[in-house]
Amino acid sequence: MTGTAVPRRKALVFIDYDMVIRHFVLSGAFRELEKRFAVRYVIHRDSTSPKQGVNVDVDTLRLGDVLRFELPRARMGSWDHLFCTTSLFNQRGTANYARRYQQILDTRPHKLVRLYRVLSLPGLFHVARPIMRAVQGVYAPLEALLRAEKPDIVLHPSVLSGYFINELTQACPRLGIPLVLLMNSWDNPSTKAMNTQLPDRLVVWGPQTRKHAIEYMKMPPDRVLEFGAPQFEVYRDPIAESDVELRAMFKVPAGVPVILYAGVSKSVNETAHLEALEAAIATGAMPRAHIIYRPHPWRGGLVAGEKNFYDVPFKHVGMDPFMADYYKRVADKPDQGFDMADYRVTARLLRLVSGIISPLSTMLLEAAIHGLPMIMFWPDGAKGVAGPIIELGRQLPHFKEFWGPEGIQVCTDGGALPEACRKLLTEHQDPAVRNGLRAHARNYVALEGPRYGERLADLADQLTAGRTARAA
Protein backbone atom coordinates (compact mmCIF):
# COMPACT_ATOMS: atom_id res chain seq x y z
CA MET A 1 0.00 0.00 0.00
CA THR A 2 1.40 3.37 -0.98
CA GLY A 3 0.42 6.83 0.10
CA THR A 4 1.47 10.43 -0.05
CA ALA A 5 4.28 11.28 2.36
CA VAL A 6 3.43 13.86 4.98
CA PRO A 7 5.77 16.87 4.72
CA ARG A 8 8.20 17.01 7.63
CA ARG A 9 7.64 19.94 9.93
CA LYS A 10 10.28 22.65 9.88
CA ALA A 11 11.83 24.53 12.78
CA LEU A 12 14.16 27.51 12.64
CA VAL A 13 16.52 28.03 15.61
CA PHE A 14 17.99 31.56 15.80
CA ILE A 15 21.36 31.94 17.57
CA ASP A 16 23.20 35.20 18.22
CA TYR A 17 25.79 34.59 20.98
CA ASP A 18 28.61 32.18 21.79
CA MET A 19 27.21 31.58 25.28
CA VAL A 20 23.95 30.37 23.74
CA ILE A 21 25.92 27.89 21.63
CA ARG A 22 27.66 26.64 24.77
CA HIS A 23 24.50 26.32 26.83
CA PHE A 24 22.08 24.97 24.22
CA VAL A 25 23.89 23.50 21.23
CA LEU A 26 26.78 21.84 23.07
CA SER A 27 24.41 20.53 25.75
CA GLY A 28 22.37 18.72 23.11
CA ALA A 29 19.18 20.66 23.86
CA PHE A 30 17.98 20.36 20.24
CA ARG A 31 18.81 16.72 19.53
CA GLU A 32 15.29 15.44 20.19
CA LEU A 33 13.86 18.34 18.19
CA GLU A 34 16.06 17.29 15.26
CA LYS A 35 14.51 13.81 15.37
CA ARG A 36 11.01 15.19 14.95
CA PHE A 37 11.57 18.32 12.82
CA ALA A 38 13.73 19.48 9.95
CA VAL A 39 15.82 21.97 11.94
CA ARG A 40 17.68 24.83 10.35
CA TYR A 41 20.02 26.92 12.51
CA VAL A 42 20.09 30.62 11.68
CA ILE A 43 23.32 32.02 13.13
CA HIS A 44 24.04 35.71 13.35
CA ARG A 45 26.93 37.51 11.72
CA ASP A 46 27.63 41.18 11.06
CA SER A 47 30.04 42.44 8.40
CA THR A 48 29.56 46.04 9.60
CA SER A 49 31.24 45.64 13.00
CA PRO A 50 34.39 44.06 14.46
CA LYS A 51 32.30 43.00 17.46
CA GLN A 52 30.62 39.67 16.84
CA GLY A 53 28.14 37.83 19.01
CA VAL A 54 29.23 34.50 17.52
CA ASN A 55 33.01 34.04 17.41
CA VAL A 56 33.16 30.25 17.53
CA ASP A 57 33.94 28.40 14.29
CA VAL A 58 30.43 27.30 13.35
CA ASP A 59 31.74 24.52 11.11
CA THR A 60 33.15 22.72 14.17
CA LEU A 61 29.62 22.42 15.65
CA ARG A 62 28.47 19.94 12.96
CA LEU A 63 24.94 21.25 13.04
CA GLY A 64 23.95 20.06 9.62
CA ASP A 65 21.68 22.72 8.14
CA VAL A 66 23.10 26.18 8.94
CA LEU A 67 22.35 29.60 7.52
CA ARG A 68 24.48 32.64 8.41
CA PHE A 69 22.26 35.72 8.60
CA GLU A 70 23.44 39.33 8.45
CA LEU A 71 21.96 41.79 10.92
CA PRO A 72 23.86 45.00 11.73
CA ARG A 73 24.89 45.81 15.28
CA ALA A 74 23.63 49.37 14.80
CA ARG A 75 20.07 48.11 14.55
CA MET A 76 20.37 46.24 17.85
CA GLY A 77 21.75 49.43 19.38
CA SER A 78 18.77 51.43 18.12
CA TRP A 79 16.40 49.08 19.93
CA ASP A 80 18.12 49.93 23.22
CA HIS A 81 16.10 53.13 23.64
CA LEU A 82 12.85 51.18 23.68
CA PHE A 83 14.47 48.37 25.68
CA CYS A 84 15.38 50.71 28.55
CA THR A 85 12.04 52.49 28.46
CA THR A 86 10.08 49.24 28.45
CA SER A 87 12.20 47.76 31.23
CA LEU A 88 11.55 50.77 33.48
CA PHE A 89 7.84 50.74 32.65
CA ASN A 90 7.54 47.03 33.47
CA GLN A 91 9.37 47.38 36.78
CA ARG A 92 7.73 50.62 37.93
CA GLY A 93 6.02 49.96 41.25
CA THR A 94 8.09 46.85 42.04
CA ALA A 95 10.64 46.57 44.84
CA ASN A 96 13.35 46.23 42.19
CA TYR A 97 12.65 49.47 40.31
CA ALA A 98 15.38 51.58 41.93
CA ARG A 99 18.02 48.89 41.42
CA ARG A 100 17.01 48.35 37.79
CA TYR A 101 17.12 52.10 37.16
CA GLN A 102 20.60 52.27 38.70
CA GLN A 103 21.73 49.31 36.59
CA ILE A 104 20.66 51.13 33.41
CA LEU A 105 22.16 54.40 34.65
CA ASP A 106 25.53 52.75 35.24
CA THR A 107 25.87 51.70 31.60
CA ARG A 108 24.24 54.50 29.55
CA PRO A 109 24.52 58.31 29.20
CA HIS A 110 22.69 59.87 32.14
CA LYS A 111 20.72 62.34 30.01
CA LEU A 112 19.30 59.49 27.95
CA VAL A 113 18.40 57.44 31.03
CA ARG A 114 16.54 60.37 32.57
CA LEU A 115 14.58 60.62 29.30
CA TYR A 116 13.81 56.89 29.45
CA ARG A 117 12.49 57.36 32.99
CA VAL A 118 10.10 60.07 31.80
CA LEU A 119 8.98 58.08 28.76
CA SER A 120 8.29 55.06 30.99
CA LEU A 121 5.58 56.93 32.92
CA PRO A 122 2.24 55.13 32.31
CA GLY A 123 0.58 57.88 30.25
CA LEU A 124 3.61 58.69 28.14
CA PHE A 125 4.74 55.10 27.63
CA HIS A 126 1.60 54.09 25.74
CA VAL A 127 2.19 57.00 23.36
CA ALA A 128 5.97 56.68 23.08
CA ARG A 129 6.16 52.93 22.58
CA PRO A 130 4.22 52.68 19.28
CA ILE A 131 6.10 55.69 17.94
CA MET A 132 9.48 54.15 18.79
CA ARG A 133 8.40 50.83 17.29
CA ALA A 134 7.25 52.56 14.11
CA VAL A 135 10.56 54.39 13.80
CA GLN A 136 12.43 51.08 14.00
CA GLY A 137 10.00 49.24 11.76
CA VAL A 138 10.19 45.56 10.84
CA TYR A 139 13.56 44.34 9.62
CA ALA A 140 12.63 43.47 6.05
CA PRO A 141 15.43 40.93 5.38
CA LEU A 142 14.41 38.88 8.40
CA GLU A 143 10.74 38.91 7.44
CA ALA A 144 11.73 37.91 3.91
CA LEU A 145 13.74 35.01 5.34
CA LEU A 146 10.75 33.78 7.32
CA ARG A 147 8.49 34.04 4.29
CA ALA A 148 10.95 32.09 2.18
CA GLU A 149 11.67 29.39 4.77
CA LYS A 150 8.02 28.92 5.85
CA PRO A 151 8.89 27.37 9.23
CA ASP A 152 6.21 25.72 11.32
CA ILE A 153 7.87 27.07 14.46
CA VAL A 154 10.69 29.42 15.46
CA LEU A 155 12.81 28.90 18.57
CA HIS A 156 15.23 31.46 19.93
CA PRO A 157 17.57 30.63 22.84
CA SER A 158 18.28 34.09 24.12
CA VAL A 159 19.69 36.35 26.81
CA LEU A 160 16.31 38.11 26.29
CA SER A 161 18.06 40.97 24.56
CA GLY A 162 20.35 40.91 21.56
CA TYR A 163 20.26 40.88 17.79
CA PHE A 164 17.21 38.75 17.01
CA ILE A 165 14.67 39.03 19.82
CA ASN A 166 13.00 42.30 18.87
CA GLU A 167 12.91 41.35 15.20
CA LEU A 168 11.37 37.94 15.83
CA THR A 169 8.75 39.18 18.30
CA GLN A 170 7.55 41.51 15.53
CA ALA A 171 7.85 39.30 12.47
CA CYS A 172 6.59 35.96 13.78
CA PRO A 173 3.17 37.22 14.92
CA ARG A 174 2.73 39.08 11.61
CA LEU A 175 3.26 35.80 9.77
CA GLY A 176 1.36 33.56 12.18
CA ILE A 177 4.46 31.54 13.15
CA PRO A 178 4.64 30.22 16.76
CA LEU A 179 7.64 31.73 18.57
CA VAL A 180 9.31 30.17 21.62
CA LEU A 181 11.97 32.08 23.58
CA LEU A 182 14.36 30.08 25.77
CA MET A 183 16.03 31.99 28.63
CA ASN A 184 19.81 31.65 28.72
CA SER A 185 20.95 33.16 32.02
CA TRP A 186 19.76 33.34 35.62
CA ASP A 187 19.15 37.11 35.63
CA ASN A 188 17.35 37.32 32.26
CA PRO A 189 13.69 37.49 33.41
CA SER A 190 14.39 40.09 36.12
CA THR A 191 16.63 42.41 34.08
CA LYS A 192 15.39 42.25 30.50
CA ALA A 193 12.34 43.39 28.55
CA MET A 194 10.65 42.46 25.28
CA ASN A 195 10.05 45.63 23.31
CA THR A 196 7.65 44.65 20.55
CA GLN A 197 5.30 41.76 21.33
CA LEU A 198 5.36 38.76 23.64
CA PRO A 199 6.29 35.27 22.43
CA ASP A 200 3.87 32.36 22.36
CA ARG A 201 5.94 30.72 25.10
CA LEU A 202 8.86 31.72 27.31
CA VAL A 203 10.82 28.78 28.72
CA VAL A 204 12.50 29.50 32.07
CA TRP A 205 14.60 27.54 34.56
CA GLY A 206 12.27 27.09 37.51
CA PRO A 207 9.81 28.66 40.00
CA GLN A 208 11.87 31.79 40.71
CA THR A 209 12.43 32.76 37.08
CA ARG A 210 8.80 31.97 36.25
CA LYS A 211 7.75 34.42 38.97
CA HIS A 212 10.21 37.00 37.67
CA ALA A 213 9.01 36.64 34.06
CA ILE A 214 5.45 37.31 35.17
CA GLU A 215 6.32 40.21 37.49
CA TYR A 216 9.14 41.94 35.63
CA MET A 217 8.45 41.07 31.99
CA LYS A 218 4.65 41.08 32.19
CA MET A 219 4.41 37.61 30.66
CA PRO A 220 0.97 35.94 30.92
CA PRO A 221 1.33 33.05 33.42
CA ASP A 222 0.00 30.46 30.99
CA ARG A 223 2.80 31.25 28.53
CA VAL A 224 5.70 30.69 30.96
CA LEU A 225 7.04 27.13 31.27
CA GLU A 226 9.64 25.67 33.68
CA PHE A 227 11.97 23.30 31.82
CA GLY A 228 15.18 23.65 33.84
CA ALA A 229 18.51 24.79 32.34
CA PRO A 230 19.89 22.79 29.41
CA GLN A 231 23.51 23.27 30.48
CA PHE A 232 22.72 21.82 33.91
CA GLU A 233 21.19 18.62 32.56
CA VAL A 234 24.63 17.00 32.75
CA TYR A 235 24.44 17.30 36.55
CA ARG A 236 21.76 14.62 36.51
CA ASP A 237 24.22 12.07 35.12
CA PRO A 238 26.35 9.81 37.37
CA ILE A 239 30.09 10.41 37.63
CA ALA A 240 32.21 7.30 37.04
CA GLU A 241 35.56 8.58 38.32
CA SER A 242 36.71 7.92 41.89
CA ASP A 243 38.07 10.62 44.20
CA VAL A 244 41.60 9.47 43.40
CA GLU A 245 40.94 9.76 39.67
CA LEU A 246 39.32 13.17 40.06
CA ARG A 247 42.29 14.48 42.05
CA ALA A 248 44.60 13.29 39.31
CA MET A 249 42.37 14.90 36.67
CA PHE A 250 42.50 18.31 38.37
CA LYS A 251 46.08 17.96 39.68
CA VAL A 252 45.32 18.38 43.37
CA PRO A 253 47.06 16.64 46.30
CA ALA A 254 45.62 13.70 48.18
CA GLY A 255 44.41 13.92 51.73
CA VAL A 256 43.23 17.55 51.86
CA PRO A 257 39.79 19.08 51.22
CA VAL A 258 39.47 21.05 47.98
CA ILE A 259 37.73 24.41 47.66
CA LEU A 260 36.86 25.92 44.30
CA TYR A 261 37.38 29.62 43.67
CA ALA A 262 35.06 30.37 40.75
CA GLY A 263 35.96 33.56 38.92
CA VAL A 264 33.54 36.01 37.36
CA SER A 265 33.14 37.71 34.01
CA LYS A 266 33.53 41.21 35.49
CA SER A 267 36.80 43.06 36.08
CA VAL A 268 37.96 41.62 39.40
CA ASN A 269 41.48 41.31 40.84
CA GLU A 270 41.05 37.60 41.41
CA THR A 271 44.75 36.95 41.96
CA ALA A 272 44.61 39.17 45.06
CA HIS A 273 41.77 37.01 46.46
CA LEU A 274 43.79 33.88 45.75
CA GLU A 275 46.84 35.33 47.47
CA ALA A 276 44.73 36.04 50.56
CA LEU A 277 43.55 32.42 50.61
CA GLU A 278 47.11 31.18 50.12
CA ALA A 279 48.27 33.24 53.10
CA ALA A 280 45.38 32.07 55.29
CA ILE A 281 46.24 28.42 54.63
CA ALA A 282 50.00 28.93 55.03
CA THR A 283 49.61 30.69 58.40
CA GLY A 284 46.96 28.33 59.73
CA ALA A 285 44.32 31.06 59.87
CA MET A 286 42.07 28.60 58.04
CA PRO A 287 42.22 24.79 57.94
CA ARG A 288 44.59 23.08 55.55
CA ALA A 289 43.02 22.90 52.11
CA HIS A 290 43.80 23.16 48.42
CA ILE A 291 42.21 25.90 46.31
CA ILE A 292 41.39 25.31 42.64
CA TYR A 293 41.11 28.52 40.64
CA ARG A 294 38.65 28.31 37.77
CA PRO A 295 38.67 31.46 35.62
CA HIS A 296 35.31 32.44 34.19
CA PRO A 297 35.01 31.32 30.54
CA TRP A 298 34.81 34.94 29.41
CA ARG A 299 36.69 36.75 32.15
CA GLY A 300 38.93 38.73 29.77
CA GLY A 301 42.32 40.19 30.60
CA LEU A 302 43.97 41.24 33.85
CA VAL A 303 42.68 44.33 35.61
CA ALA A 304 44.87 47.20 36.76
CA GLY A 305 47.22 45.96 39.45
CA GLU A 306 46.32 42.29 39.03
CA LYS A 307 49.23 39.87 38.92
CA ASN A 308 49.30 37.08 36.40
CA PHE A 309 48.41 33.85 38.22
CA TYR A 310 51.55 32.18 36.90
CA ASP A 311 53.81 34.90 38.34
CA VAL A 312 52.80 34.03 41.91
CA PRO A 313 54.56 31.09 43.65
CA PHE A 314 51.39 29.46 44.96
CA LYS A 315 51.74 26.32 47.10
CA HIS A 316 48.13 25.82 48.17
CA VAL A 317 46.38 27.20 45.06
CA GLY A 318 46.30 25.59 41.63
CA MET A 319 44.81 26.46 38.26
CA ASP A 320 41.98 24.36 36.84
CA PRO A 321 44.04 22.57 34.16
CA PHE A 322 41.11 22.62 31.74
CA MET A 323 41.07 26.44 31.82
CA ALA A 324 44.84 27.03 31.83
CA ASP A 325 45.30 27.58 28.09
CA TYR A 326 42.40 30.03 27.98
CA TYR A 327 43.78 32.03 30.92
CA LYS A 328 47.25 32.20 29.39
CA ARG A 329 45.78 33.36 26.08
CA VAL A 330 43.61 36.18 27.39
CA ALA A 331 45.48 37.36 30.50
CA ASP A 332 47.65 39.79 28.55
CA LYS A 333 45.92 39.84 25.16
CA PRO A 334 42.13 39.69 25.62
CA ASP A 335 40.08 38.71 22.60
CA GLN A 336 36.39 38.67 21.74
CA GLY A 337 35.94 34.96 22.18
CA PHE A 338 35.61 32.90 25.29
CA ASP A 339 36.24 29.36 26.33
CA MET A 340 33.56 26.79 25.56
CA ALA A 341 34.21 25.19 28.95
CA ASP A 342 32.72 21.70 28.92
CA TYR A 343 30.01 21.21 31.55
CA ARG A 344 30.96 17.54 31.78
CA VAL A 345 34.30 18.72 33.19
CA THR A 346 32.51 21.13 35.55
CA ALA A 347 30.34 18.27 36.79
CA ARG A 348 33.43 16.33 37.77
CA LEU A 349 35.02 19.36 39.41
CA LEU A 350 31.92 19.94 41.52
CA ARG A 351 31.95 16.28 42.58
CA LEU A 352 35.52 16.72 43.84
CA VAL A 353 35.30 19.95 45.85
CA SER A 354 33.98 20.58 49.36
CA GLY A 355 32.63 24.04 48.62
CA ILE A 356 32.85 27.13 46.45
CA ILE A 357 34.02 30.73 46.85
CA SER A 358 33.04 33.30 44.22
CA PRO A 359 32.67 37.07 43.98
CA LEU A 360 29.29 36.59 42.26
CA SER A 361 28.61 33.80 39.80
CA THR A 362 26.00 31.33 38.66
CA MET A 363 28.45 28.75 40.02
CA LEU A 364 26.94 29.54 43.43
CA LEU A 365 23.64 28.11 42.20
CA GLU A 366 25.47 25.16 40.69
CA ALA A 367 27.00 24.57 44.12
CA ALA A 368 23.54 24.43 45.68
CA ILE A 369 22.43 21.91 43.05
CA HIS A 370 25.26 19.68 44.29
CA GLY A 371 24.59 20.36 47.96
CA LEU A 372 27.89 22.23 48.33
CA PRO A 373 28.28 25.06 50.86
CA MET A 374 29.44 28.35 49.40
CA ILE A 375 30.79 31.82 50.14
CA MET A 376 29.85 34.87 48.09
CA PHE A 377 33.02 36.88 48.76
CA TRP A 378 33.38 40.52 47.80
CA PRO A 379 34.69 43.12 50.29
CA ASP A 380 32.39 46.12 50.70
CA GLY A 381 33.83 49.22 49.10
CA ALA A 382 36.38 47.34 47.02
CA LYS A 383 37.67 49.56 44.26
CA GLY A 384 37.73 48.87 40.55
CA VAL A 385 35.32 48.61 37.65
CA ALA A 386 33.60 45.56 39.13
CA GLY A 387 32.92 47.05 42.56
CA PRO A 388 29.63 48.85 41.85
CA ILE A 389 28.50 46.07 39.50
CA ILE A 390 28.96 43.31 42.09
CA GLU A 391 27.62 45.36 45.01
CA LEU A 392 24.47 46.14 43.00
CA GLY A 393 24.34 42.66 41.45
CA ARG A 394 24.07 40.83 44.75
CA GLN A 395 20.97 42.95 45.50
CA LEU A 396 19.21 42.14 42.22
CA PRO A 397 16.22 39.80 42.62
CA HIS A 398 17.75 36.59 41.27
CA PHE A 399 20.63 36.75 43.77
CA LYS A 400 18.87 38.59 46.60
CA GLU A 401 16.29 35.83 46.94
CA PHE A 402 19.03 33.19 46.93
CA TRP A 403 20.76 34.29 50.16
CA GLY A 404 19.70 33.07 53.59
CA PRO A 405 19.70 29.27 53.91
CA GLU A 406 22.36 27.56 56.00
CA GLY A 407 25.34 26.75 53.82
CA ILE A 408 25.24 30.07 51.93
CA GLN A 409 27.52 32.73 53.38
CA VAL A 410 27.85 36.32 52.14
CA CYS A 411 31.27 37.57 53.21
CA THR A 412 31.97 41.28 52.71
CA ASP A 413 35.00 41.55 55.02
CA GLY A 414 38.32 40.19 53.80
CA GLY A 415 39.44 39.60 57.37
CA ALA A 416 36.47 37.31 57.95
CA LEU A 417 37.23 35.06 54.96
CA PRO A 418 39.41 32.49 56.85
CA GLU A 419 36.68 31.87 59.43
CA ALA A 420 34.09 31.66 56.66
CA CYS A 421 36.23 28.97 55.00
CA ARG A 422 36.48 27.08 58.29
CA LYS A 423 32.68 27.14 58.55
CA LEU A 424 32.32 26.04 54.91
CA LEU A 425 34.46 22.96 55.49
CA THR A 426 32.40 22.08 58.59
CA GLU A 427 29.13 22.51 56.71
CA HIS A 428 30.34 20.15 53.99
CA GLN A 429 30.36 17.39 56.59
CA ASP A 430 26.74 18.08 57.66
CA PRO A 431 24.14 16.07 55.67
CA ALA A 432 21.34 18.38 56.85
CA VAL A 433 23.09 21.42 55.40
CA ARG A 434 23.82 19.69 52.10
CA ASN A 435 20.27 18.33 51.72
CA GLY A 436 18.88 21.76 52.56
CA LEU A 437 20.97 23.31 49.78
CA ARG A 438 19.73 20.74 47.26
CA ALA A 439 16.15 21.49 48.28
CA HIS A 440 16.84 25.23 47.99
CA ALA A 441 18.18 24.74 44.45
CA ARG A 442 14.83 23.32 43.33
CA ASN A 443 13.36 26.82 43.70
CA TYR A 444 15.66 27.94 40.89
CA VAL A 445 16.21 25.02 38.50
CA ALA A 446 13.92 22.15 37.58
CA LEU A 447 16.07 19.00 37.61
CA GLU A 448 13.43 16.29 37.79
CA GLY A 449 11.10 14.78 35.24
CA PRO A 450 11.73 14.68 31.47
CA ARG A 451 14.96 16.11 30.13
CA TYR A 452 15.07 19.62 28.70
CA GLY A 453 15.36 18.48 25.10
CA GLU A 454 12.39 16.14 25.41
CA ARG A 455 10.24 18.86 26.99
CA LEU A 456 11.23 21.25 24.20
CA ALA A 457 10.39 18.80 21.42
CA ASP A 458 7.04 18.02 23.08
CA LEU A 459 6.28 21.75 23.23
CA ALA A 460 7.13 22.14 19.55
CA ASP A 461 4.80 19.22 18.77
CA GLN A 462 2.03 20.90 20.76
CA LEU A 463 2.43 24.33 19.13
CA THR A 464 2.58 22.93 15.59
CA ALA A 465 -0.21 20.36 15.88
CA GLY A 466 -2.65 22.43 13.84
CA ARG A 467 -0.05 23.28 11.24
CA THR A 468 0.82 19.58 10.88
CA ALA A 469 -2.84 18.75 10.29
CA ARG A 470 -3.04 21.34 7.49
CA ALA A 471 0.14 19.99 5.91
CA ALA A 472 -1.28 16.46 5.95
Fold of 243-441: Rossmann fold (3.40.50)
Same fold, 10-71+139-229+449-465 and 243-441: yes
Beta bridge partners of 279: none
CA dist., res. 258 & res. 344, Å (int): 19
What is the domain partition of the chain in residue ranges?
A: 10-71+139-229+449-465, 75-133, 243-441
CA dist., res. 392 & res. 400, Å (int): 10
Phi, psi of 383 (to 5 degrees): -85, 170
CA dist., res. 261 & res. 269, Å (int): 13
Please tell me whether residue 394 adopts helix, strand or coil conformation: coil
Fold of 10-71+139-229+449-465: Rossmann fold (3.40.50)
- Contact criterion met (CB below 8 Å) for 278 and 417: no
- Contact criterion met (CB below 8 Å) for 293 and 321: no
pTM (2 d.p.): 0.93
Radius of gyration of the chain measured on its C-alpha atoms: 23
CA dist., res. 244 & res. 252, Å (int): 10
CA dist., res. 226 & res. 444, Å (int): 10
Mind listing the pLDDT tens digit of every residue in the chain (472 residues)? 445 445 689 999 999 999 999 999 999 999 999 999 999 999 999 999 999 999 999 999 989 899 999 999 999 999 999 999 999 999 999 999 999 999 999 999 999 999 999 999 999 999 999 999 999 999 999 999 999 999 999 999 999 999 999 999 999 999 999 999 999 999 999 999 988 899 999 999 999 999 999 999 999 999 999 999 999 999 999 999 999 999 999 999 999 999 999 999 877 899 999 999 999 999 999 999 999 999 999 888 898 889 999 999 999 999 999 999 999 998 888 776 678 889 999 999 999 999 999 999 999 999 999 999 999 998 876 666 667 778 888 899 999 999 999 999 999 999 999 999 999 999 999 999 999 999 999 999 999 999 999 999 999 999 999 765 434 3
HSE-up (13 A, CA, CB side) for residue 385:
13
